[in-house]
Structures are given as structure tokens and as C-alpha cells.
Chain A
Amino acid sequence: MISLSDYNHAHTAHSLAVSVKDLGLTYTTSIDKKPTLKARLKSLGRGKKFTRTVRALSDVSIDVHYGTVLGIIGSNGAGKSSLMRVISGIVPPTQGRVEVFGSVSTLLALGVGFNPAMTGRDNVYLGGLAAGMSRHEIDANFQAIAEFSELGEAIDAPMRTYSSGMYARLAFSVAAVVEPDILIIDEALSTGDAKFKEKSLNRIKELRTADRALILVSHALATIEDICNEVIWLNNGKLMARGKPTEVIAAYREFVDARKSASSDEDV
């Protein structure tokens, strides 16, 4: 299990940050939103299924080098978030191998916020400690996190009183201020107001250094094109293309347009 404290030193540009080989991910999840004993008992003897198997990723192989800002695009359910979770060690792969060569900070869909009844400050500390940072490291970064989030006194209010924008601001600040070797951000740039969005983008641009690797998942293709120097396109859990942002995004747009026109033909 990786942590920020485990490994944090300078990496040479172009050395390997993340290696993903023949990655496959199949998981079993319950059909019901909340699996209950009652539902399980009711299904006994009826042959009714209470779980379903999802093939989220198939034979995905990618290498991410230091100095790279990798964008991941694809439609909903393409496997983008699943890939991020496997790289972050949150979900184990069912096939293949992932090697990570540095400390990872993640800002995935749900962001920070362990317990909404606790204050923003408590949640920042708990999230950081769970990620493997020491109390001293969090103390050293806390002021910068609080300032970047622009929450002011609200940092000491319970998180249940936060708006979704405040949540997003704090989540981004935690992930982006700690300066990890590898930063993974999943669709977090689309939240917050325009001013904070711009601030986040500028922060990401600042983090683009030769000894860091950034992996961004976003539906905002213009942002991906602007920030990234490499893009991969996933569809139905498979790697469709990898290369320069302009080329991959053009191919993806063409694919989406073709699908749209096919479905509109069906309507006629």
C-alpha cells in the first residue's frame, strides 16, 4: 500500500512513473443499491441473481513517464475511473499488473470528506493520515491547503454545512497542494465556480514539471487538449487510441459523431 511518506524523491524526466500491463478488471457488485439480508433470503430457491459481474477493463497496457501529463477521455462507463482506482491501489486488478514508481495523490470522483459531521480541518487531517502522510507533513501543508481552498473560517465548520462547490474546492486543494510524484485527478475540474476552475487549471499547469506525472480524467476536451501532452481514449474498457492530444481527441470526436448520427438514423 503506497503512501506519500513512503517515497518522495526527485525523478529523472522520462523515467517510468506508472506501468500498466495487460490490465483487466472484472468485479461483482450487488444489483440492489443497498444489499440486505431480506433481499438475499427472498431470492433463495428462486434462482434470482443478487449480484452482477461487470467487465470494466480489458487488456489495457500503458506506460506513463515522469514529465508526462496524460489525459484520459472516453464516454460514461468507458472504464476511466476504474483505471484510476486500480492505479491508485483502491481496487485490485483481476488480470495483469500495475507498477507504480513514486508517491501518489488522488482526487477521484468523491474527493475529500471522510465524515460530513466533522469539520473541514478534521477531514483534511484524517484524509491525509489515511493516505499515509505524517501529522508533521499535514501541519506543514495545512495553511497552504486552507488558503488555496479560500474557505476562510468555514474550514472549522462541519462539512455537512458545505456547498458542493466548497467541497470541491477543499478536495482539490488537498490533492494539489501536497506535491506528490504522481497526481491523479478524476473529473474534479468540472466542479466549483469559474474563478476556482481557472485557479485549479493554473495550479495544474504549475505542477507540470519534469519530475512529476499527472493523470487527468475529464470530459472537457478543450482542457485536456490545453494541459496534456499525451492522451488515451478508452471505450468499453478497451484502449482505443493513444498519442498526441489533437489526434486522439479528433478520433474520439469522429467516433462520438458517428455514433450520434447512427442513433439519429435509427430514430427516423
Chain B
Amino acid sequence: MDKPVVIYEPFRAGLPPMRPYLRSLWARRTFISEFSRSELREQNYGSLFGQLWLILNPLLLSGVYFLLINVIGGRSDSARFAHLTASLFLFYLIANSLTGGVKAITSGQRLILNTSFPRIMLPISATVVALFRFAPTLVVFLGIHVMLGLPYSWQMLWALPIILIAIVMSLGMAILISCINVYFRDISSMLPYLTRSLLYLSPILYEAVHMSHRIKKFEIANPIFYLLDSWSRVVVHAEAPSAKGLIHASVFAISIFTVGTYFFLSRERDFAVRL
């Protein structure tokens, strides 16, 4: 008799057998890239500039802040303008990942109810879409950096590990929030307020060095505070990030990713009956 290709048995709470799960996820990696391309195509479907919006969006965003700081504020504070745009671009990687991730499972209902596949592909795809949107902003920021004549140094290579930490954090947040939204659908309605609060509580509209120590000590609870501070130091001021900042960001990123992934994987077999 043939050996069964697959066996379905009752599961206890906890992780699925990881080796077959990861093999299955790897076999479907093309889905993730195809989904991201389709999503970006669909987002700009029918618009005049189409995919050009990926570059136009960050350009216009930086234009608005240039207007705010240099024209309305009347100050030619190039470092502040660069800090604002650089921080905002990285912040949007995390915010877009959360926005895409929150409905990744609930909007994939038809596929989930019809096909067996590792559900974690859906929030991963949401983060890949956010990453696709983030990549052109790096080019735009490089242009701003050159135009403003900001300093350069080898310390700027720290940007690479910081981006890696930001990706792990975005992925963890997307995985976690997509799972929470299956059980509490109002999370998607609360998300805009959550991201807006994160925007104001993080060093984006201001720099971390200008904060009072009394307030700053509470920022240890903000997962992206030191990540954005390190990012600004590296790409705007061409300085090395603080060890505390890197450790804080890494610990938060790994913790959110680990907790989110565990929560998701231990619950995902339940999704089909919860949708």
C-alpha cells in the first residue's frame, strides 16, 4: 500500500510540527512575492501615475514637511527636515505593516476556507508589501541627504542592521495583530488611533535629545522609540547608534516576533471556524 502523503490528526494547543510547516511555507514563497505585486498593482489600479506613486508618495510627504518647517516655520533647519523625513519613512514601514497585517487573515477568508496552506503567509505578505513601499523612500531620502549636504561617515552602515531590526519588528507586529483581529474585530477600527499615538510618542516630529528626562524614562515602554532614535542618529547625523538603543530595539523586535509567531501558529488551525 502507498504511504499516505499527509495525515490529519487532532492537535493539542501549541505549535504545529515545525519542519513540515516550514517546508510548506518555503514551497509557497512565490505566493508571497506574487501577492505583494498584485497588492501594489491593485492599490494603484486605475490611478494616473500607477506604480509611480511608490516614489511620488514619499516625495510629496517630504514636500509637505518641507513646507511646514522651512516655509511656514521660516527656519532653514536642514537637519530637522532630514530627521523628520527619515524617521517618518521608517515609521511608515511599521505602520503600513500593521495596517496591511490587521486584515490579512479576515480578508483572506475565501482562501482560508477553501485551501490548506500555512496561514502565516498572509501577514508575511503584508509586511513584504510594506517593505516594497519602504524601498523607494530610501532612494528619496538619499536624494534629500545629498541636496541638504548632510555629513557622511562609515557609521552610516549601521543603517543595515537597523533596517533588519525594523523588518523583524514589523513582521512580528503584523503577525500578532492579524491573529488578534480574528478574535476581536474592533482592533482594526482602533488601529488608526494606535498608530497615530505611536507617531506622537516616538521621536519623529521631535528629536529624542530634546525630550525631558522625566518624560523620556517612560519611553522604555515604546517599542519603536529607540529604533527611530538610532535610525535618525545614523542616517541624518552619520553617528553610531547607542548600544542601549540597539539593544532596546532588538529585544522588543525579537520579543514581539517570538510572541506573535507563537500565538499565531498555536491558533491558526482555529481560524477556519472563527472566520
| Chain A residues in the interface with B (C-beta under 8 A) | 1-3, 5-7, 11, 15-16, 19, 27-30, 34-38, 40, 85-104, 106-115, 117-118, 122, 125-127, 129-132, 134-135, 158
Q: Which residue of B lies closest to A6 (CB)?
A: B5
Chain A residues within an 8 Å CB radius of B3: 101
Residue among B34, B113, B114 with max Cβ neighbours from chain A (10 Å): B114
Q: Which residue of A lies closest to B121 (CB)?
A: A130
CA distance A65 to B108 in the complex (A): 33
| Chain B residues in the interface with A (C-beta under 8 A) | 1-11, 20-21, 24, 27-28, 30-31, 34-35, 38-39, 41-42, 45, 107-118, 121, 183-187, 269-270, 272-274
Q: Which of B11, B45, B274 contacts A30 (CB 8 A)?
A: B274
CA distance A217 to B204 in the complex (A): 57
CA distance A96 to B111 in the complex (A): 26
Contact call A101/B2, Cβ cutoff below 8 A:
yes
Contact call A127/B115, Cβ cutoff below 8 A:
yes
Contact call A90/B272, Cβ cutoff below 8 A:
yes
Contact call A1/B184, Cβ cutoff below 8 A:
no
Distance of B40 from chain A, by nearest CB (Å)? 11
Chain B residues within an 8 Å CB radius of A134: 30
Contact call A86/B115, Cβ cutoff below 8 A:
no
A-B residue pairs in contact (CB < 8 Å), sample of 7: A2-B6, A87-B8, A92-B8, A97-B8, A114-B110, A130-B31, A132-B27
CA distance A100 to B3 in the complex (A): 9
Distance of A12 from chain B, by nearest CB (Å)? 9
Q: Which of A28, A90, A100, A158 contacts B5 (CB 8 A)?
A: A100
Contact call A101/B10, Cβ cutoff below 8 A:
no
Q: Interface residues of B: mostly helix, strand, loop or mixed?
A: helix
Chain A residues within an 8 Å CB radius of B6: 1-2, 6, 89, 99-100
Contact call B38/A135, Cβ cutoff below 8 A:
no
CA distance A3 to B20 in the complex (A): 12
The 10 tightest CB contacts between A and B, nearest first, are: A89-B116, A129-B31, A99-B4, A1-B24, A98-B8, A37-B184, A27-B273, A122-B38, A2-B6, A36-B186
Q: Which of A92, A96, A107 contacts B11 (CB 8 A)?
A: A92
Contacts A35-B183, A98-B8, A100-B4; is A126 near B35 (CB within 8 Å)? yes
Q: Which of B7, B107, B111, B121 contacts A97 (CB 8 A)?
A: B7
Q: Which of B4, B39, B274 contacts A29 (CB 8 A)?
A: B274
CA distance A98 to B272 in the complex (A): 18
Distance of B264 from chain A, by nearest CB (Å)? 15
Chain A residues within an 8 Å CB radius of B111: 114, 126-127, 130
CA distance A9 to B145 in the complex (A): 58
Contact call B114/A129, Cβ cutoff below 8 A:
no
Q: Which of A35, A95, A126 contacts B34 (CB 8 A)?
A: A126
Chain B residues within an 8 Å CB radius of A92: 8-11, 269
CA distance A35 to B3 in the complex (A): 41
Contact call A93/B114, Cβ cutoff below 8 A:
no
CA distance A99 to B7 in the complex (A): 5
CA distance A104 to B8 in the complex (A): 14
Contact call A28/B273, Cβ cutoff below 8 A:
yes
Contact call B11/A129, Cβ cutoff below 8 A:
no
Distance of A183 from chain B, by nearest CB (Å)? 13
